[in-house]
Structure 1
């Protein structure tokens, strides 16, 4: 989607006060030319801080609300053209101890977003997923997988009169509020040993700017029901430590409840309906897309699996250091 597609439109972002939401708002105001951007979130302090950051730009509309609240969400969605759904509960270990709260937000809240968008005849909705939703082993990943399925099947709703839904799935975001980098820097400055879950651990990494680019491009490419995955590099946790704090002492603390040693974004099962298109993979649902409508090129080989430890792209210590700089 070119910037002109967003010109004079109304964009709503759920969970907009997070790192991704803040970066998307910056790009939208500077490059996309919307009539207004609705910041929908439940934390009034974070909204206040964001208002100060953006100099109280008149194009921004501030709505306090929770995606669990259907009535509030339906009102907020009125007159909206595009939605970026970023709201979620995300802490892996916290989810294991508060399972139903994650279901209420990540699953039921996502269905509320879908229902509100259909009722308001929103044009397009892009929902944000996570690598933890592929072959999930924790409640957070399982709840996000449920959300992914809700969004990719929402186009089949007989009451849907023109709203298109898709999902984008990517790995850990470098520079986000949940990044481990600030912790490593703080401990290294105090001369303390850095806690490493497991020295063999690998992760997918993407920058905030790359994540926003991917979301904007997905609006252009989507027809409905797709799950888009970017081809992004992996990194080893020890390389991250060396990039942040050269020569720092580390100690292993073990996997947290529900944590994986390596991450996966496309399983071998999902790869059967996934196609490569340039620098992204496009996963199509098991139903709703006829076999004759499947792409004729880009099919992945049998047994393909997109995992952080078997990836063909890697960040070196110097690469990570340059990105952090």
Structure 2
């Protein structure tokens, strides 16, 4: 995948909603590494994460931080005014939380996205890049449904007669990010006891943070507005990941005894995830390391740029029909990010014993 052109964001003002998470931190790191932006505005609700991010980027005067919610249109306008590029990362993302707090999910993921659109147009932003998810495809849960609606809002915003262009990217699971399975498995294993698995046959896409940010930059530079960019990414079986991590992390810890417990798929989860649906494949094009899904609405600029290009030759792109990572490939991927380090303090997120119990119990789900 092509890297961002050095200097592309020089002297530009950049707005990032939900910018204190894993994606936001890496996005800022790469923006500062390859560019000399005028200002990067981090907009998020949590003061603690903002303080932690300030410490990480101590002395970096390009960064400014604003407490705010994407539900608050007036606050958004105050912060977004004068912005050149906006990256919309803010969302409620935890599947069971969204199921149990449905209206909150709607307000943040749908109303909040519409607020981003309206404010960006009013503020004269050049381009808005929305970060979506594989769960928006053929959604089975409320989180996926809200993100699917968010995608539709972003794409249809290109119909408006404005100078602001809107584009989406769809990502899969990013290795080691907050709330993902790898750090949870690692901590369960190193503490000893039980490793909880939903279903050993479950498959999930897997990408690293650098690849995720590269996709964002690719969409920023290459899009004309109205496209959805999807990375060609491999997947793995959750059971294979668990077995490998148990084996590799147990090699130098003689008294480490870990047993697996199959807890079943959580409400709203799928056995396999989809990145390009069977309905979208007729409008999907292959572009090097990624796919571009064209909109089903009339956008002359899109039709002009992609005229004559051939559609993909698959009916659906899902985590069970892409390349499944082998044992050695999974091991290499984890080693690069130090997730197989035997030191229990490495990459440790201070999860307490109570946090490692059966996830159903944590989230209050009851089984019949």
SS at match of 1:6: coil
Contact in 2 for aligned 1:3/1:33 (Cα 8 Å): no
Please name the residue that 1:320 is paired with.
Answer: 330
Contact in 1 for aligned 2:200/2:240 (Cα 8 Å): no
Please list, as runs of the form range in 1=range in 2, the aligned pairs for 1:197-236 lying within 5 A after superposition.
Answer: 197-236=198-237
Please name the residue that 2:266 is paired with.
Answer: 256
Please name the residue that 1:308 is paired with.
Answer: 319
Q: Do structure 1's residue 102 and structure 2's residue 105 form an aligned pair?
A: yes
Please list, as runs of the form range in 1=range in 2, the aligned pairs for 1:289-304 lying within 5 A after superposition.
Answer: 289=299, 293=304, 294-301=306-313, 304=315
Q: Do structure 1's residue 276 and structure 2's residue 277 form an aligned pair?
A: no
Q: Do structure 1's residue 57 and structure 2's residue 27 form an aligned pair?
A: no
Q: 1:41 aligns with which of 38, 44, 47?
A: 44
Please list, as runs of the form range in 1=range in 2, the aligned pairs for 1:1-325 lying within 5 A after superposition.
Answer: 2-158=5-161, 160=162, 162-246=163-247, 248-289=258-299, 293=304, 294-301=306-313, 304-311=315-322, 313-325=323-335
Distance 2:331 2:22 in 1: 20
Contact in 2 for aligned 1:204/1:235 (Cα 8 Å): yes
**Number of aligned residue pairs:** 321
Contact in 2 for aligned 1:242/1:317 (Cα 8 Å): no
Listed one character per residue, the Cα deviations across residues 298-324 of structure 1 (whole Å, up to 9, x for unaligned) are 3123x610000111x222222222222
Distance change (3 Å), C-alpha of 1:255 and 1:53: same
Asked which structure has the greater CA Rg, the reply is 2
Distance 1:144 1:110 in 2: 9
Listed one character per residue, the Cα deviations across residues 256-290 of structure 1 (whole Å, up to 9, x for unaligned) are 11000000011111111111111111111111235
Distance 1:292 1:66 in 2: 36
**How far did residue 242 of structure 1 move?**
2.5
Structure 2, unmatched stretches of 5+, are 251-257, 336-368
Contact in 2 for aligned 1:184/1:244 (Cα 8 Å): yes
Contact in 1 for aligned 2:7/2:34 (Cα 8 Å): no
**How far did residue 249 of structure 1 move?**
2.8
Listed one character per residue, the Cα deviations across residues 118-144 of structure 1 (whole Å, up to 9, x for unaligned) are 011111111000000000010000000
Distance 1:163 1:289 in 2: 14
Q: If the length of structure 2 is used for normalisation, what is the TM-score?
A: 0.84
Aligned-residue CA RMSD in angstroms?
1.4
Contact in 1 for aligned 2:235/2:324 (Cα 8 Å): yes
SS at match of 1:4: coil
Segment of structure 1 superposing worse, 272-281 or 201-210: 272-281
**How far did residue 205 of structure 1 move?**
0.7
SS at match of 2:261: strand
